[in-house]
Amino acid sequence: MRSAPSGSIIRTDPVKAAAEDADYRRLFPYHVELCALSELRKKPGLGVPLRSGMGGHSILYLHGVCRDLTAGYPVLKFCEFGDRSVGLSVNSHYRNANWVAADGPDFLWRGALQPGEALTRAAYARTQEHAKAMGFLDGIEFHRRFFQGKPAGMSERDYMYEISVATDYAVRFGRDAYRARVPLDRERMGRIIGYLNDLNAPYREGKKDFNWRVLNNNCSHVAHNALAQAGIWAEWKTGIFFVLAAFNFPVPKNEFVDLVERVNDLPVGDVKAMYEDEVVRRCLLETGALPAAPGALASAEPAIAENEVYDIAGLRLIFYDNPYWGPYRGRLKRILTEPRFLDLRENLSHFETLYAGAQAGRKVARVSAAEQNFAKLYNACIARGAARVAEMLARLDDIQQARVETAS
């Protein structure tokens, strides 16, 4: 069996991975994932030839969020029922949308494949037919220049779904995936929904055409700025002059590492440090939450191993970093080896310790009225977090015990 992405988390057992994901969704019905995807290399002679750059691609996955199927265009809303989700993709193909959304979780990651099923030519075709029936490209127009490679006899609609495979849906058909999960409450998820719908509105209304730009308006900008609406970090400005943007712009793998650290390594027990972080302060004052919270996990999964359609040997996903002594490689290695980043129980126990230390270490000091108000909200947030962690650890015990009893 092919290994997971280099130096990475091993999630090659589809049954175990599915069970872990189900446990997570039961504890965190609203969560978001920033997903960094590797390059894509399609084998020759299999439909339209496709090959992407080693900078990779980014998907924003929203659990508890659905497409509005009455809109005839990509519009998001809260799911009314069921364990449902969507994955958003930003692509240079689109003319009248910044992003499109495919239904998840299963179809987003592995298309119409069953867990452990090989990717054959027949399964590849079956997945495209399922995508067309789903209609996630309904209302979407591509820039005309992208139809230059359309084979004679293929309809434009079929071509659109063909060149979107493994980028906008069924992404693990040909790409390795690094995934950073962040639990959210309904209010903050609502902020993300509103932001993303507003982002697409001018393109839907025909007021302007969308033009993807690698330096100042790429797939990572959208994922990053959506998370900014939830108070995770500061917004990344788009449309910056390209010469300036070239020195600092978001790329998928960097964003994966930055997010995992942001939501796990903030000094949660230090109220002064939390107050001095402008984004943290605003997040707590506006939403009653902190960006770092239990349940923020990293994972990585390889592309489908038994694969007739894509070349999956040595897929690359680079950092925007110095290749010899840049810090990102060491930071990634730490994420991929410390259990608190990878395992739900270890992560919950880590935050249980953090919250206990924060509650035990409270100090009375002379502070401004603004700091006093922040400290009051902070203490309440820490107390809620401690109670929530205890509840989740107990629920996780019950869930896993029930699974053992069912299996026996």
SS3 257: helix
The pairing of strands 76-78 and 85-89 is unpaired
With vertex at residue 59, the alpha carbon angle to CA 10 and CA 222, rounded to the nearest 5 degrees, is: 140
C-alpha closest to that of 358 among 261, 258, 231, 273: 273
C-alpha closest to that of 258 among 361, 328, 207, 202: 328
Cis, bond preceding 151 (omega within 30 deg of 0): no
Cα→Cα distances 71→68, 305, 343, Å: 6, 37, 39
Distance CA 289, CA 380 (A): 10
For residue 32, report the phi and psi dihedrals to the nearest 5 degrees.
-125, 150
Domain boundaries, position 112: 14-407
Per the domain annotation, does 9 fall within a domain? no
Query: What pLDDT, on a 0 to 100 scale, did the predictor assign at position 242?
Result: 62
Per the domain annotation, does 291 fall within a domain? yes
Query: What pLDDT, on a 0 to 100 scale, did the predictor assign at position 383?
Result: 96
Per the domain annotation, does 403 fall within a domain? yes
End-to-end distance of the chain based on CA atoms, in angstroms? 28
Query: What pLDDT, on a 0 to 100 scale, did the predictor assign at position 6?
Result: 47
Distance CA 279, CA 262 (A): 11
Query: What pLDDT, on a 0 to 100 scale, did the predictor assign at position 18?
Result: 80
* pTM of the complete model: 0.93
Query: What pLDDT, on a 0 to 100 scale, did the predictor assign at position 152?
Result: 92
Per the domain annotation, does 114 fall within a domain? yes
Per the domain annotation, does 6 fall within a domain? no
Query: What pLDDT, on a 0 to 100 scale, did the predictor assign at position 124?
Result: 96
Mean pLDDT by 10 residues, the chain (408 residues): 46 74 92 97 90 92 97 96 92 95 94 93 96 95 94 95 96 96 97 98 94 77 96 85 60 95 95 95 96 95 95 92 81 94 96 94 68 93 96 92 79
Query: What pLDDT, on a 0 to 100 scale, did the predictor assign at position 7?
Result: 45
Query: What pLDDT, on a 0 to 100 scale, did the predictor assign at position 380?
Result: 95
Q: Which two tokens stand for residue 290?
A: 């902190």
Per the domain annotation, does 24 fall within a domain? yes
Query: What pLDDT, on a 0 to 100 scale, did the predictor assign at position 360?
Result: 85
Helix (H) or strand (E) holding 60: strand 57-63
For residue 114, report the phi and psi dihedrals to the nearest 5 degrees.
-85, 160
Quick: pLDDT tens for 100-125.
Answer: 999 989 999 999 999 889 999 999 99
Distance CA 29, CA 325 (A): 40
Distance CA 140, CA 61 (A): 20
Q: Give the count of domains, the chain.
A: 1
Quick: pLDDT tens for 357-388.
Answer: 998 876 555 568 889 999 999 999 999 999 99
Residue carrying the six token digits 């900078």: 55
239: Cα within 13 Å, side-chain hemisphere: 1
Per the domain annotation, does 139 fall within a domain? yes
333: Cα within 13 Å, side-chain hemisphere: 5
DSSP state of 183: E
Per the domain annotation, does 44 fall within a domain? yes
- Of all residues in the chain, what percent are helix, strand and coil, respectively (each to 5)? 45, 15, 45
